[in-house]
Amino acid sequence: MANPSLQIYPGKGMTCVFSFPTALCELEPALDDARVTPGTDGCRPACRNIARTEENIDELRAEAAELRLIVADEASPKIRWGRERRRLAHLESLIAEHERGRPEGGTT
C-alpha cells in the first residue's frame, strides 16, 4: 500500500491496484489521458487488478453477516431471498478464497 509506484484505489470490499492494460471497467476520462483512473463503481468481478486487504475482507464478512439474517427470515419475499442468497454465496466464496491464500499461521 505504501509503494508509490502503484496506483491504488480503495473500493467497497476490494482494492483496485490499477493497471490500465488489464482494467475491465470504464476508465475516466480516457486511455490517452495521463490522468486516467478506474471507475471503481463499475468494478468487474473478473478483473485481474482486484486485491483484497484484511479490511476489505472484514467489510465482506460484515455484509455476509447481514445477508445471513435476511436469508434466515422465512417471511422474506422469494425474489429477494434468491438474490440475497446468491450474493451471500458469492461473498462466502471470496472470503474462503482469501483465507485459503493466507500463509500458514498468518493473520494478514
Give me the residues that bind ligand SF4 (CB under 6 A), please.
16, 18, 23-25, 38, 40, 43-44, 47, 49-50
Element (H, E) at 88: helix 78-100
CB of 17 to ligand SF4, least distance (A): 7
CB of 36 to ligand SF4, least distance (A): 10
In DSSP notation, 20-84 reads GGG--S-EES-TTSTT-EE-GGG--TT-TTEE--HHHHHHHHHHHHHHHHHHH-TTS-HHHHHHH
Of 40 and 53, the one with the shorter C-beta distance to ligand SF4 is 40
Closest separation in Å from C-beta 2 to ligand SF4 = 19
Cβ closest to ligand SF4, residue 37 vs residue 76: 37
